[in-house]
Structure 1
Amino acid sequence: MHRIYSIDVLRGLIMIIMALDHVRDFFHVSAMTSDPLDLQTTNPALYFTRWITHFCAPLFVFLSGLSVHLMNGRKSKAAISKYLFTRGLWLILIEVTVVSFGLTFNPLMNLAILQVIWAIGVSFLALSLLVFLPWQAVLGIGLLITLSHNLLDTANHSVFMEFAHNTRYTYYQVLPGHGVIVFYPFLPWIGILLMGYGLGRIFRQNIPVARRRRILLTAGSTMVVLFFVLRGINVYGDPRTWASQATALKTFYSFMNVTKYPPSLMYSLITIGIGLIALAALEHARGRFADIAKVYGSVPFFYYILHFYIIHTLCVIVFFASGYGTDQIVNMQVPFLFRPPEFGFPLWVVYIIWIAVVAVLYRPCKWFSQYKRTHKQWWLSYL
């Protein structure tokens, strides 16, 4: 598939930022004992470190849908549908096996954590049916889901609703001794991916760059303005309302503390809105840093899988180096092995580890990106 430079750069930037959040999960001293967005316990550096990573999942999913649209004209609708269906099932399988093991390092493989790869997988299954519709209809369905799904916030709890919308992080046994926890209910993510698919129309080669930039800037600015208007009204769009606090800073924290699980309308508007503006700005971005980001963005699935294993392996090394013993590998308060609740370091150490992890990933990603460009095996489209 012909790659678009600005899309790969933006995707690469969010992959780099995403690693920061996962390094924080494994190495920050309070990651397992407190919420970095808690108004009463956070500080500006910690709040920003967590909040900036809000952009990663929605833009990752949005750009996945956008990339699918670029297959139009090269493949038939039937071929695209078949690819989406099989890749969707593949991604779900990878989530409950490879990704979950990378997160937990649990050799029993008795806990699957359903996160963004699962969400993309289910969204691909939905799009495999909807791809036969005009792109305008797919975009409209995506907008409808994104704008209206918060009406379900007060829906009665059921197993289906937990998987679809209102997650409560409940453990569900699937097989004896094996179960799942849902972090990414699929319905809102389907909406985000469908919006990406619809907007992918403006990245076709017959669309002038200037027109594409205008559309991106208009759509992104509209979403950001709508965020501030609806968030200011404080009635609909996020189950977590904001309130004035004792200080202006804490009021700002409250205002910007939108819900990710599931992604609320407010969360989607501010992250995707700014993302679209960034995508317009990156149309003419060139330079060393953009080229580096493009490398990561050209192999996002490869990067995503590999970064978990590098981070967790490093955690194991530091765990033993810090004097922890084998009797402390498992802790019932934390689903990740080798990561006791009290384990960790100050935030500045987290940043050093993050930079190191991203740097280590560069050459493997560059190699695999080159490999994908020079090889055409069918299975490469699934990685």
Structure 2
Amino acid sequence: MKKFDKITLSLGGHSSRYYGKSGFNIKIRGKKDLYGRNHFKLRSGSRDATYLRHKIVYDIQNHLGIPSLSANFSQLYINGEYIGLYIMMDCFKTSWIEYVYSEKDTTSLYKCTGFGNIPNIQSYMDKRTCTNENEDYTDRTEYNEFIRNLETARTIEDYEKFFDVDLFITQIALEYLLGSWDHFINGGNNIFLYKPRNGNDQRWKFLLYDFDADFGQDIIDEDKFNMIYQDLFNYTMENDQELFKPEISNNLFKPHKNDSIKHPYYSFEDYALHGYLLDALIFNHQELFENKLKELITKIFNPTILFPHIDSLKEFIEPYVRLDKTLNNEGIYPGKFDRKNNIYTYEQWRDNCEFTPVKNVVETNSGSYGIKYWILAKYRYICTVLHLDCDPNYMNISQ
């Protein structure tokens, strides 16, 4: 057991603050650290009924060997009071850079909000778009040069001189497979940019974090997020005929013939609007993107690998989830300080880890796919469209 004399505990998260159970940020002070890190996030799972979405995506990224955070589970007590089960994650901070890249007090790590898929990237120059994590460093010359290079590059080879293009394409492919709506393609949020100082590869890196809104989480009506809210709750994988409808596009870069297609079967053209970087590196190089999807489907994004991993995690956290979902003597769930908002039940946790959708506990017009359902449906769609030789145990749909 490690003890720390000085820490700062603060409320964490943005939209998660509107849920019934708050998240927290922890900073270890006094030049101390835990496993090389001194910044951590504790997230309550208030948005994600499964507690698994963060964990699985970070595990996928780490399995692929791309720069990533890590996630695990913890029980939180404050002054001896049990607050509940939390997902514990490290953060993209200067201490993380020092631990991973051996660079102390980096001046080239930028946190970005609004760094998204837009036609004109001049807005990336705005100081509010990307801010340096080193508060003592205010010189933006290097960052501004990076943005100008993004704008003037004309070929893949031009981009590869200063930008890790393969990493960018990998992250965009993951966004698409995950159905993300709060990263680069559809939101421009939860992004970091980093330029290493050490080693042979000193190109800018495109980093993603926070994945509790992925795997079909919070699919909301068209008026809010330009996403089509479907009747998820009367749809089963056992009799999935939609994959064979003529409306389904058989080309990732062509739209579907109507707007009633469910989200896992969106083509990339349906999912992503055209923007400067996506046009330059994805839409104009479709074969690169398709090959990356094939690689991810083969290596990791498939039910053969992910379903047993989900089962193992679910079994591991089950007793802690049960405790987290047990009312105390006052009839209140642990850590539920905001009593006017609901939290997910044990049954919703159990079911959403599998194939069953759940309704959002805060927004009544929002629902989330079961996490296994999303993986299987997306796997089947990509395997079908790209004509991959996929596991027949998961491709056997009665027609």
| TM-score in terms of structure 2 length | 0.27
Q: Could you say which structure has the higher strand fraction?
A: 2
TM score, norm. by length of structure 1: 0.28
